[in-house]
Structure 1
Amino acid sequence: MSSTWLITGATSGFGRLVAERALAGGAHVIAVGRRRDRLAELAELAELAELAELAELAESAPHGQVTPVALDLTAPDAQDVLAEAVRSAGGLDVLVNNAGYGLFGAVEQVDADAARAIFDTNVLANLTVLRATLPALRAARGRILQTSSLIGQFAWPSSGLYSASKGAVELISEALAHELAPTGVKVTIIEPGTFATEFSTSLQVVAPSDVYLPTVGQFLTDFAALPPQAFGDPDTVADAIMAVAELDEPPLRLAVGADAVEHIRASLHSRLAELDRWERFPRVPAGEPA
């Protein structure tokens, strides 16, 4: 894999798994994250060729190189830092725009600072990365993988602000795909279901007040009670990202995980049913069934 990848959120979760796979394939990975220690670990893996599954294959196994970029993507200079990293690398073939975190709580109870912060990271920083990388991606007719979520397509009680941030990423990405179509750049939105990553370690939860205990409280209680087997293997998502990046004609959206497919399908059916039921409103004559 003689290509250059830029991966945000590369220090943990899906980002780290994708970075390891890209390195194992011989790519140059511009690894972006806040944690310098995790970035150093990734760079060391590349240097020592420890990504080879068997030690005796280490010399023959392809292995790439890492350019670690310790960066807060909400910082004022983030776009310039990323653009310079891409220039220094000589271009860019694949962007995995993956950084973000979760916030769960009743819409009313998420204060302005928390709401602003999640949009700063999950939406505005995503745009910062796109602005920094799109010139190089156009030149390479490259690929863009935008990490969303199954709940970027709909919302659960408690997920309103997080779902809104991922929904914004979904629609930005859809528009971007149309806008970039003549350039040859392909955009795919990755919609993972529930997987066993470090997502929960950065998850922020606003405890519900009494009025929201039957909805938000019940949902959070039920979610916390899920057994370990309810959480998928995150390798599945990393493998899907690697595979879709190679497709000549990738999908715009890719739901990963049986729960993602199930819940997104149910949401779409519900929306279509509601559209059909109310399409004549308010033109239905009085007394006639809607």
Structure 2
Amino acid sequence: MSSHTVLITGTSSGIGLEAAVAAARAGWTTIATLRDPERAGALRAAADRAGVTLDIRQLDVTDPASVTAAVEGVVADHGRLDALINNAGAGHVGTIENETVDDVRRVMEVNFFGVVQTTKAALPHLRASGGRLITVTSVGGVVGQPFNEAYCAAKFAVEGFMESLAPVAGKLGVSVSVVEPGAVATEFVNNIGLDPERLLAAAGDYAEPLQKYVARTQGQFARSAQTPEQAAVTVIEALTAERPAFRLQTSAWALAFTATKLADNDGSAVVALTGGYLG
């Protein structure tokens, strides 16, 4: 039986992969989960390079049966669950007039309801161990951004869910934290499936502001994106600190960006800031 067992979702690449390796390096028994086990090659290679062992399992956050099986399997095999790191998610770029409500529902299913599902399954075991619930959100969970309506809505929902749950879970011994990355150079960006030319061709009246948004965002990633390894440091801080904060940003830029919203009582500063993205 391990004294420290953590389950992490979405570990095929990016922050999830690096967090899994770092948690194992820190001495945690690490259950690294991913939707498609055939995509575990990079994860296995990273673990081998680091000289650590991972327990790699299948978990699809949008499938309740998969979530239940994974969590119950971990407890059956390792005797306990001390931490859950909700990391799985998917990006999305679009605006509501040019997409369907079902498109928005799909974004919510992965980024919000997937988190809710894994949290619900893990909580009884986290209560038993006095454990930790950590969720990787985004600066987009604090500051709404153009052409990210569905994505930011999902991340806002996650932040509201966790902020509301934190004092309740805390009364029963479970620490709750959210980690807010800014730009991170990961496969997450590629997983959006963003084809700027096709997106602009279908944008209609939104083409000009969308073009400016895409150019600005590509430039930001080129200039200031963190590596996944750098962002994962903050995730491990939430996992190992004696008393982790509820809200942690992964970089100075993310801290300054979210501070714009958190100190903006009437919302004018945020609207002026993001409006500037559009020229």
TM-score class normalised by the smaller sequence: 0.7 to 0.9
> 1:19 deviation in Å?
0.5
Partner of 1:257: 251
> 1:159 deviation in Å?
1.0
The 1:101–1:227 alpha-carbon spacing in structure 2 relative to 1, beyond 3 Å, is closer
The 1:84–1:232 alpha-carbon spacing in structure 2 relative to 1, beyond 3 Å, is same
> 1:22 deviation in Å?
1.4
The 1:222–1:45 alpha-carbon spacing in structure 2 relative to 1, beyond 3 Å, is closer
| Amino acid paired to 2:87 | N
The 1:274–1:156 alpha-carbon spacing in structure 2 relative to 1, beyond 3 Å, is closer
The 1:202–1:260 alpha-carbon spacing in structure 2 relative to 1, beyond 3 Å, is same
Per-residue CA deviation, residues 164-211 of structure 1 (Å, 9 max, x unaligned), is: 000000011011101111112111110001111111121144546232
Partner of 1:97: 86
Which structure has the bigger radius of gyration?
Answer: 1
Per-residue CA deviation, residues 53-110 of structure 1 (Å, 9 max, x unaligned), is: xxxxxxxxxx4x4322223221241232123223222111111100001001113223
Q: 1:159 aligns with which of 138, 142, 148?
A: 148
Superposed, 1:47-126 pairs within 5 Å as 50-52=49-51, 63=52, 65-88=53-76, 89-126=78-115
C-alpha contact (below 8 Å) 2:20/2:32 kept by paired residues: yes
Q: TM-score, normalised by structure 2?
A: 0.85
CA distance in 2 between counterparts of 1:249 and 1:122 reads: 26
1:196 corresponds to 2:185: yes
Partner of 2:4: 3
Deviates more, 1:223-232 or 1:130-139: 223-232
Q: TM-score, normalised by structure 1?
A: 0.82
Partner of 1:238: 232
Q: 2:172 aligns with which of 154, 178, 183?
A: 183
| Amino acid paired to 1:222 | R
SS state at 2:30 partner: strand
> 1:140 deviation in Å?
0.8
C-alpha contact (below 8 Å) 1:143/1:186 kept by paired residues: yes
Superposed, 1:21-60 pairs within 5 Å as 21-39=22-40, 42=43, 50-52=49-51
CA distance in 1 between counterparts of 2:152 and 2:203 reads: 21
Q: How many residues align?
A: 262
CA distance in 2 between counterparts of 1:104 and 1:181 reads: 35
| Amino acid paired to 1:72 | D
> 1:272 deviation in Å?
4.1
1:14 corresponds to 2:3: no
| Amino acid paired to 1:261 | L
CA distance in 2 between counterparts of 1:122 and 1:39 reads: 21
Per-residue CA deviation, residues 101-146 of structure 1 (Å, 9 max, x unaligned), is: 1001113223122211111111111111111111111111111111
Q: 2:205 aligns with which of 183, 189, 211?
A: 211
Partner of 2:276: none
Partner of 2:261: 267
C-alpha contact (below 8 Å) 1:106/1:216 kept by paired residues: no
CA distance in 2 between counterparts of 1:74 and 1:251 reads: 28
Ranges in structure 1 where 5+ consecutive residues have no aligned partner: 53-62, 276-290
The 1:171–1:194 alpha-carbon spacing in structure 2 relative to 1, beyond 3 Å, is same
Partner of 1:148: 137
CA distance in 2 between counterparts of 1:76 and 1:229 reads: 39
SS state at 2:57 partner: strand
